Amino acid sequence: MNEPVFWLDDKAIPFRDGQTVMTAVTAAGHYIPHLCHHPDLTPHGSCRLCIVQIDGRIRAACTTPAQANMKVTFDTTLLNQQRRQIVELLFAEGNHLCPSCEVSGNCQLQALAYDLGMTHSEFAPLYPQRETDGSHPDIFVDQDRCIFCELCTRSARELDQKNIFGISGRGSHTYLLAHSDSGKLGDTALTETDRAAHICPVGCLLPRNGNYQIPIGERLYDAQPIHIRGNHRPDDGEFTP
Ligand code: FES
C-alpha cells in the first residue's frame, strides 16, 4: 500500500503514523528552520521558528502531527518575515556578539539569521547581565547567550538520565539554572561526555577546551548554509538535515 502524503507547498511529503510535519519533512530531505527541535528529543514547541500555515492557522511544524492530504504552507514572504522577526528578537534578548563569540560559524542562531536574510534587529537590545558560571571543569556557562530552547534540560533528562538544568524566572528575568545545592554547574553530575554538554545550539554552554581549533571562516555554517547543512553537529549524535 502507498504511504500517505501531505503537501508542503507543492511537494508531496510521505509520512508514517506518529510522525510530525517536521520529522516527515526532514526525512524527505527538506529543511524547516528550527532551534528547539531535536530528532532525539520530545518536541517542545517553544522557539516558534518552525511556523507553517495549515488551514489558515499558524502552527509549529515540530508539534503538529502529519495527516494525509493536509496542505502545509511553508515558503511565503510573510512566514519568512515572521521567522526573521523571531530571530531578531532572540538577538535582542541576549548578548549575541558574533564577531567575538567562540561558536561563531557553528552557531545555529547566527546561521539562521544569515539564512533568513537578517541584516539588523528591529528590537532594542536588552543587554542582559546574568551571572556566568565557570565552576565546571569542562563546560562554561554564559547565561546571556541562552535562548531557552531547553535542548540541554531535555537532553540531560531524556538522553543522559540526569536532572542537571532547569529554567526559572519570567520574561527578561528568565535564566538557566543548574540543579545543585550551590546552584553551580560544577556541583552537578554533568560530565564532558554527556549529550547535554554538547547540544547547545548557541554559545551558552561552551566547552572549555578545543575552541578555535577550526578557524572562523572554515566552520560548519561558513562552509554551507544551515538549510543545506542542517542543525545538528556530528558530536551532537546523529546528523540530520
Ligand atoms: Fe518548533 Fe521550536 S522547532 S517551536
pLDDT of residue 210: 83
Q: Is residue 88 part of a domain?
A: no
If asked whether residues 218 and 100 sit together in one domain, one would say yes
pLDDT of residue 241: 33
> Is the Cβ atom of 207 under 6 angstroms away from ligand 1?
no
Among 42, 62, 89, say which to mutate for ligand 1: greatest number of ligand atoms within 8 Å of CB.
Answer: 62
> What's the pLDDT band for 233 if we cut at 50, 70, 90?
low
pLDDT of residue 226: 96
pLDDT of residue 213: 87
- Average pLDDT for residues 70-86, to the nearest whole number? 98
CATH of the domain at 144: 3.30.70.20
Strands 165-168 and 205-207: unpaired
Structural domain boundaries enclosing 177: 95-222
> What's the pLDDT band for 73 if we cut at 50, 70, 90?
very high
If asked whether residues 69 and 126 sit together in one domain, one would say no
Number of Cβ within a 10 Å radius of residue 55: 9
Q: Is residue 187 part of a domain?
A: yes
Model confidence at 96: pLDDT above 90? yes
Q: Which atom of ligand 1 is nearest to the CA of 48?
A: 4
> Is the Cβ atom of 62 under 6 angstroms away from ligand 1?
yes
Q: Is residue 3 part of a domain?
A: no
Locate cell 537590545: which residue?
Answer: 125
If asked whether residues 215 and 182 sit together in one domain, one would say yes
Model confidence at 238: pLDDT above 70? no
If asked whether residues 71 and 120 sit together in one domain, one would say no
Distance 32 CA to ligand 1 centre (A): 9
The pTM assigned to this predicted structure is 0.94
Q: What digits encode the pLDDT tens for the residues 192-209?
A: 999 999 999 999 999 998
CATH of the domain at 55: 3.10.20.740
> Is the Cβ atom of 25 under 6 angstroms away from ligand 1?
no
pLDDT of residue 240: 37
- Average pLDDT for residues 117-123, to the nearest whole number? 95
8 Å CB contact between 160 and 193: no
If asked whether residues 110 and 207 sit together in one domain, one would say yes
Q: Please list, in sequence order, all residues whose beta carbon lies within 8 angstroms of the beta carbon of residue 61, skipping any fewer than 6 positions away.
A: 20, 21, 22, 25, 32, 34, 50, 51, 52, 72
Mean pLDDT over each residue of the chain, to the nearest integer: 93
Q: Which atom of ligand 1 is nearest to the CA of 36?
A: 2
